[in-house]
């Protein structure tokens, strides 16, 4: 399987960034409306996350199993199955996808530990406080870890990385990511703009990482192939380097 999306120039990436900024700005404007709809909140400052019933159980399950350790674990099981059935080329693609998705989530955690936005249920007034508040470090504290959503960035990062290879499976993962994003809002863990910003970030970072890792793979593989009998053929048929089916599309 080859990359379905080829590298673009600066205009391509700048236009994506500009569009993403506009989307995030609109999401901030919709925070209150979404909060009132999803949480049945009476205002921007009073949040009542779902706690009982089927909705709470579904949201809790999605939030728990949509965190990065579980997503990585599910991916690891799939990777092991591919290797077991000797689908080595597909396993290399899946490895790249997992790396890109996890790094998208990790980088979002770095951002939220820097900007330190209060969660909807925080006791402090809503806002962005930065890593220090009243001469105390608040970076990494859960109450100030709202923007962007790490759960959403990881799930959508996987979807964005898969999109580079398979539209069908990317749609499946994107649906899962959207469900996880809803659960984070329903549980009062994030604002609407948090999950939107995480999605925008994921669709900027993950594809760029796929292209970067693909280029790195080319360099490493070509270096190993020099003077080694049998490596040239593998280099030419590898799905990250040339067209071919690996069972993911």
User: Which whole number is the average pLDDT over 110-126?
Assistant: 92
Cis peptide before 148 (omega within 30 of 0): yes
Over 50: is that where the pLDDT of 245 sits? Answer: no
CB 68 within 8 A of CB 154: yes
Over 90: is that where the pLDDT of 43 sits? Answer: no
Question: Rounded distance, CA 176 to CA 220, Å?
Answer: 34
At residue 24, φ and ψ (nearest 5 deg) are -65, -40
Candidate from 19-23, 41-45, 98-102, 241-245 with smallest mean pLDDT: 241-245
Q: Which residue has the tokens 């599910």?
A: 74
Q: What beta strand segments (E) does 76-162 contain?
A: 132-133, 136-137
Over 90: is that where the pLDDT of 54 sits? Answer: no
Q: Which residue has the tokens 């790490």?
A: 150
Question: Rounded distance, CA 32 to CA 106, Å?
Answer: 28
Domain-wise residue ranges, the chain: 10-237
Q: What is the pLDDT of residues 64-99, one digit of tens each?
A: 999 999 999 999 999 999 999 988 888 889 999 999
Burial grade of 153 (CB within 10 A; 0-12, 13-18, 19 or more):
buried
Predicted model pTM:
0.83
Q: Which residue has the tokens 């919709």?
A: 30
């Amino acid at each position: 399987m080859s990359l379905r999306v080829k590298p673009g120039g600066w205009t391509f990436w700048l236009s994506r960034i500009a569009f993403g900024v506009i989307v995030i700005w609109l999401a901030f404007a919709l925070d209150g409306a979404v909060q009132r709809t999803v949480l049945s909140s009476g205002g921007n400052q009073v949040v009542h996350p779902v706690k009982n019933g089927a909705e709470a159980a579904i949201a809790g399950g999605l939030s728990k199993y949509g965190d990065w350790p579980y997503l990585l674990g599910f991916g690891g099981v799939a990777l092991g199955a591919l290797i077991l059935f000797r689908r080595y080329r597909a396993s290399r693609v899946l490895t790249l996808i997992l790396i890109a998705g996890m790094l998208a989530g990790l980088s979002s955690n770095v951002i939220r530990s820097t900007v330190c936005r209060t969660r909807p249920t925080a006791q402090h007034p809503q806002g962005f406080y930065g890593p220090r508040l009243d001469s105390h470090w608040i970076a990494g504290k859960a109450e100030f870890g709202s923007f962007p959503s790490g759960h959403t960035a990881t799930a959508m990062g996987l979807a964005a990385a898969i999109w580079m290879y398979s539209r069908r499976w990317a749609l499946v993962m994107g649906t899962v990511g959207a469900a996880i994003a809803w659960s984070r809002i329903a549980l009062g863990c994030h604002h609407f703009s948090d999950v939107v910003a995480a999605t925008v970030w994921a669709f900027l970072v993950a594809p760029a990482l796929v292209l970067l890792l693909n280029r790195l793979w080319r360099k490493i593989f070509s270096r190993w192939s020099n003077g080694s009998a049998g490596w040239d053929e593998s280099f030419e048929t590898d799905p990250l380097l040339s067209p071919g089916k690996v069972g993911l599309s």
